[in-house]
Amino acid sequence: MTENLIVFAHGKESGPWGTKITHLAQTAQRRGFAVISPDYSHTQDPQARIAQLLALRPTARRLVLAGSSMGGYVSAMACAALQPQALFLMAPALYFPYPGWDGEPQGIPPRCSVVHGWHDDIVPLAQAQRFALQHRAALHVLDAGHTLNDQLPMLDLLLDRLLAEVLAA
User: pLDDT digits over 32-60, tens only?
Assistant: 999 999 999 999 999 999 999 999 999 99
Q: What is the mean pLDDT of residues 75-86?
A: 98
Q: What is the mean pLDDT of residues 120-127?
A: 97
CA-CA distance, 117 to 140, in Å (whole number)?
A: 8
Q: What is the percentage of the chain residues whose pLDDT exceeds 90?
A: 93
99 pLDDT more than 90: no
Residue 24: the pLDDT is 98
Residue 97: the pLDDT is 87
Residue 8: the pLDDT is 98
Q: Is the dihedral of CA 16, 17, 18, 23 positive or negative?
A: positive
Instruction: Please give the C-alpha separations between residue 63 and each of 26, 77, 121, 145, in angstroms, as whole numbers.
Output: 16, 15, 31, 28
